[in-house]
Structure 1
Amino acid sequence: MQSVQGAGLLEQETESPKFDYRKWLKWSLLGMIGVVNGYATVLMYAKGEIAFALLTVVLTALALFIFGSKRTYAHRYIFPGIAGMLIFIIFPLIYTVGLAFTNYSASNQLSLERTQSVLHQRTFQSGDSYKFDLYKVDNGHQLVINANGELLASDVFDIANPFADPMTLRDVDGVQGEKEKIKAIVKNRSNLSKVELVTPEGEKIRMSGLRKFAAEAPLFTLQEDGLTMINNKTQQIFMPNMEIGYYQPVDENGNFVGKPISPGFVVGVGGANFERVMKDDGIKEPFFGIFVWTVVFAFLAVALTLAVGMVLACIVQWEPLKGSGIYRVLLILPYAVPSFISILIFKGLFNQSFGEINLLLDAMFGIKPSWFSDPVMARIMVVIVNTWLGFPYMMILCMGLLKSIPEDLYEASAIDGAGPVQNFMKITLPMLIKPLTPLLIASFAFNFNNFVMIQLLTAGGPNMVGTSEPAGYTDLLVSYTYRIAFEGGGGQDFGLAGAIATIIFLLVGGMALLNLKFTKLSQD
């Protein structure tokens, strides 16, 4: 009996542990993610997208650390939130601030190496040009060059798949075939441009027009130092100007002379973009004017929506009022309708020639304001529309807060003989302002960046005159930044836009800190 038990124990001890397929699947999946993301990182780095490669490395390392370690595995539920914050908040913020210290623009987007490659691909006509004709023959097509009255023909080739190697031209008396029309040359231009021909004198020629072949050579040649480029046509020496991000001619002393050539490349410019905001009159004057208008607009937006919303909340909460539920629904409708629809409707209502508002004003008072061309009237229109869009939100907030005010205060006030106005000023307003303060600061920050309404209603217009960058009288800082980034007359200036966006971030960030401070005081 004992021997049997001993044999059973020995058998149990020699059994191999069970295969943990969950653990194997987990590490296989993590390893696959690491390999795929690592390969994607290498590709992004090779293409010069260093910022995106770094973001991929951080997210991948964070995912492997959280899901691969027992100590951090409990944090797997918050990983999507952390990843979203990194991708949509921290990375764009750092990227924008980084752009503010560069010359990144429509004409300065490439790296120095890529700029050299683009310049090296440019060619110029280094020899004579020759007229040519394309003939369709039995086995394909043939090119015939007219060299000063002498006919030179190429080998027969497949026009859909031309030879990669140069074809030597030979003298011919005539060509047996059908001459193709110009539309056939246009249709096959991309394939014909790949054909390289060699004349009997050894000159290589390529297609330089719909009817011409010519000898071409690289316009620029990169020298051994990896920086200097020589213009083979003029023998002018070009060097990269690291201050402006362009290749520029230099004299015998190495000083930059003449005009730079495009495309440019991205270089760091330090605080030059911030200096432009402060020193360039074409930017400084509209910037400070727009900044003041942005503050005034945000303040009026908060003050007017609060005033209208609070008064209407008090009215619909008034017990003797019959049908208050219907009024509540009607007053909330502007908030329920998508804002872009309301803005576009108001854009039609304020039309200077056919809008219903001007038709009504003309019939009643004989006036037709220029809502979209007069700066003052345009700003008044913007404030009116924004008040209409914003008062339902304030009304809803006030309706909820009114419920929290004790009725005993109003009863005591009635005993003392106070009327509705005194009750509002002495009880309702003080009791509402304190809890509303953080929300009002948040509303101020929102209207400070109210891009959608400005863009849809006025697009920033009417435009200011004499500015270096596009700017309008109804532009807010955020729409002004957008116009600099995407509508700049001298090229889309993303670096300058990034500098202004950084300033906006600091301002709005200060408001957020102020909001937190008031929230803490309110809680205390």
Structure 2
Amino acid sequence: MISQQKSSNFNYRKWMKWSLLSMIGVVNGYATVLMCAKGEIPFALLTVVLTALALYIFGSNRTYAHRYIFPGVAGMLVFIIFPLVYTVGLAFTNYSASNQLSLDRTQAVLEQRSFQSGESYRFELYKVESGHRLVIQVDDDLLASDVFDISSPPSDKLLLSKVESVPGEKEKIKAIVQNRSNLAKVELVMPNGLEIRMSGLRKFAAKMPLFTVQDDGLSMLNNQTQQLYKPNMETGFYQSVDSEGHFVGEPISPGFVVGVGGANFERVMTDDGIKEPFFGIFVWTVVFAFLSVALTLAMGMILACIVQWEPLKGSSIYRVLLILPYAVPSFISILIFKGLFNQSFGEINMLLDALFSVKLPWFSEPTMARIMVVLVNTWLGFPYMMILCMGLLKSIPEDLYEASAIDGAGPIQNFFKITLPMLIKPLTPLLIASFAFNFNNFVMIQLLTAGGPNMVGTSEPAGYTDLLVSYTYRIAFEGGGGQDFGLAGAIATIIFLMVGGMALLNLKFTKTALEQD
């Protein structure tokens, strides 16, 4: 009896589990179909992978024990792997502000365009008892439409018929302006069969589609000029062709996304307007990251040694005061420093002017701007290094300092012979991590200088204090020739390879340190 009850409970749970998994599979499968229908193939693939992984882990007895790590794996796929793969994929396309659509969607947008193909007719709007009527004067004839509700324009075409007069009140231009969007949806048919639509606040005219897709499904004919257009699969735009099929003339926007191979990477290496600022920014990024690590380490280590010095009175107060910059949100500190360094009204220039009669161009001169950025970043970073060094100083055996004192060594000798070597070894992985962080310190640059002062003669916006990450952001969202996400993706891929190399170096040093310990 008891065994039968257990078997019944087990079957019920199994049935519930498979019902839930089946429901998840059906819902996600339907969502995948919708994504594919709208051309969102990457997101559809991500949904398929996550769904298949979930069904495999929760549906198999062999993998059911891994259910606890599924949220972490899913999060890694969604927030790390997918954005990385998607960004690398964009680097090999022409994806930009002008090229965002698929070829089919571009055709649909162009087909919606129209042009006035015939004579225009002045119209009047009359209010009658049961609604409104449109009235058009053609030579000596007065044509009036059927009655319609202006707040809900009819989906069918309205016939124009000849009338002697229109009973009702003529609406003023204000009413036409207020109902312009609804009137634009009204299509009238004249007695001769000509179809006309609203072409202005006072005019109706015959309109035709500007472009028509041809029998091959790709070419489009301009009905106004009779010029044939074909998709240029190299540039991602529709372009007119000559009698021999060669592309001529200007491209038509919007464009569509096409693969360009390594063209974006080639632009980084060959286009002088990109290559020169890129390599200049790369060198500055390395220098900035190195100086930030070196200065914050030096300042943090010296201050840690001072506050840990036993004869120093009130050391606990100094510790609290020196750690306070780390407790204040960095964006607040950056904005405060931006005001302090203001060239006209900042307190720093006011003090320099009072003492030395000089005002430094912190934001307009490249060298001064870079010095300012390094100084502010040092202030923001030294408390972290100081905290690390304070903890590591406790791990240094006192016997070493006692033996050094017997040999007659002073504080400076102790620092360079004992303290520094004992701290550098465990700090090395953290210093590499700090270097990688400062290599991509976007918030600091964006809030303080926004990359300025700007360079001149560049193909894409670039500044003297830009890091590679902020340079990429400006190309992606501030590009003068259109937001070039493909080029930004290429530079982001290069940055990823650089930072990935630093991460591998960090792991190597960490492993070596652990093995030696």
- TM-score with structure 2 length normalisation? 0.98
Q: Which residue does the alignment assign to 1:358?
A: 349
Moved over 4 A (4+): 11-17
Q: Secondary structure at the match of 2:77?
A: helix
**Residues 16, 424 of structure 1: CA spacing in aligned structure 2 closer, same or farther, 3 A cutoff?**
closer
Q: Distance in 2 between matches of 1:273 and 1:267?
A: 12
Q: Which residue does the alignment assign to 2:501?
A: 510
Q: Secondary structure at the match of 2:408?
A: coil
* Aligned match for 2:85, one of 73, 78, 94: 94
Q: Deviations over 1:18-50 (max 9, x none)?
A: 253222221111111111111111111100000
**Greater alpha carbon shift after TM alignment, 184-193 vs 509-518:** 184-193
Q: Secondary structure at the match of 2:8?
A: coil
* Deviation, structure 1 residue 152: 1.1
* Deviation, structure 1 residue 211: 1.3
Letter in structure 2 aligned against 1:42: V
Q: Distance in 2 between matches of 1:118 and 1:396?
A: 59
Q: Which residue does the alignment assign to 2:216?
A: 225
* Aligned match for 1:417, one of 399, 408, 420: 408
Q: Deviations over 1:92-119 (max 9, x none)?
A: 0000000000000000000000001111
Q: Which residue does the alignment assign to 2:8?
A: 18
Q: 1:395-414 alignment to 2 at 5 Å? A: 395-414=386-405
Q: Secondary structure at the match of 2:360?
A: coil
Q: Secondary structure at the match of 2:390?
A: helix
Letter in structure 2 aligned against 1:440: L
1:62 aligns with 2:47: no
Q: Deviations over 1:293-313 (max 9, x none)?
A: 000000000000000000000
Q: Secondary structure at the match of 1:299?
A: helix
Q: Distance in 1 between matches of 2:3 and 2:291?
A: 82
Letter in structure 2 aligned against 1:326: I
Letter in structure 1 aligned against 2:488: A
Letter in structure 1 aligned against 2:339: G
Q: Distance in 1 between matches of 2:295 and 2:218?
A: 61
Q: Which residue does the alignment assign to 1:268?
A: 259
Q: Deviations over 1:256-315 (max 9, x none)?
A: 011110000000000000011011111111101100100000000000000000000000
1:373 aligns with 2:364: yes
**Residues 523, 13 of structure 1: CA spacing in aligned structure 2 closer, same or farther, 3 A cutoff?**
closer
Letter in structure 2 aligned against 1:389: L
Q: Distance in 2 between matches of 1:325 and 1:448?
A: 33
**Greater alpha carbon shift after TM alignment, 458-467 vs 188-197:** 188-197
* Aligned match for 1:498, one of 458, 464, 489: 489
* Aligned match for 2:116, one of 111, 125, 128: 125
Q: 1:253-402 alignment to 2 at 5 Å? A: 253-402=244-393
* Deviation, structure 1 residue 198: 0.8
* Deviation, structure 1 residue 224: 1.0
Q: Distance in 2 between matches of 1:367 and 1:14?
A: 93
**Greater alpha carbon shift after TM alignment, 236-245 vs 23-32:** 23-32
Letter in structure 2 aligned against 1:30: L
* Aligned match for 2:424, one of 433, 443, 448: 433
Letter in structure 1 aligned against 2:241: V
**Greater alpha carbon shift after TM alignment, 173-182 vs 324-333:** 173-182
Q: Distance in 2 between matches of 1:429 and 1:13?
A: 70
* Aligned match for 2:152, one of 161, 178, 183: 161
Q: Distance in 2 between matches of 1:38 and 1:298?
A: 46
**Residues 15, 35 of structure 1: CA spacing in aligned structure 2 closer, same or farther, 3 A cutoff?**
closer
1:177 aligns with 2:168: yes
Q: 1:26-37 alignment to 2 at 5 Å? A: 26-37=17-28
Q: Secondary structure at the match of 2:142?
A: strand
Q: Distance in 1 between matches of 2:154 and 2:441?
A: 59
Q: Distance in 2 between matches of 1:13 and 1:124?
A: 80
Letter in structure 1 aligned against 2:132: H
Q: Deviations over 1:387-427 (max 9, x none)?
A: 00000000000001100100001001101110010000100
CA RMSD of aligned residues (A): 1.4
Q: Distance in 1 between matches of 2:58 and 2:157?
A: 58
**Residues 14, 443 of structure 1: CA spacing in aligned structure 2 closer, same or farther, 3 A cutoff?**
closer
Q: Distance in 2 between matches of 1:13 and 1:79?
A: 33
Q: Which residue does the alignment assign to 1:4?
A: none
Q: Distance in 1 between matches of 2:162 and 2:4?
A: 90
**Residues 413, 149 of structure 1: CA spacing in aligned structure 2 closer, same or farther, 3 A cutoff?**
farther
Q: Distance in 2 between matches of 1:215 and 1:169?
A: 14
Q: Which residue does the alignment assign to 1:3?
A: none
Q: Deviations over 1:348-392 (max 9, x none)?
A: 000111111111111011111011111111101000000000000
Q: Distance in 2 between matches of 1:500 and 1:186?
A: 49
Letter in structure 2 aligned against 1:430: P
Q: Secondary structure at the match of 1:290?
A: helix
Letter in structure 1 aligned against 2:418: I
Q: Which residue does the alignment assign to 2:185?
A: 194
* Deviation, structure 1 residue 184: 1.6
* Deviation, structure 1 residue 14: 11
Q: Which residue does the alignment assign to 1:520?
A: 511
Letter in structure 2 aligned against 1:23: K
Q: Secondary structure at the match of 1:498?
A: helix
* Deviation, structure 1 residue 123: 0.4
Q: Which residue does the alignment assign to 1:142?
A: 133
1:460 aligns with 2:451: yes
Q: Deviations over 1:315-363 (max 9, x none)?
A: 0000000110110000000000000000000000001111111111110
Q: Distance in 2 between matches of 1:391 and 1:13?
A: 67
* Deviation, structure 1 residue 12: 10
Aligned residues: 514
Q: 1:73-92 alignment to 2 at 5 Å? A: 73-92=64-83
**Greater alpha carbon shift after TM alignment, 153-162 vs 403-412:** 153-162
Q: Secondary structure at the match of 2:250?
A: coil
Q: Distance in 1 between matches of 2:24 and 2:357?
A: 71
**Greater alpha carbon shift after TM alignment, 182-191 vs 254-263:** 182-191
* Aligned match for 1:487, one of 478, 486, 504: 478
Letter in structure 2 aligned against 1:372: F
**Residues 385, 13 of structure 1: CA spacing in aligned structure 2 closer, same or farther, 3 A cutoff?**
closer
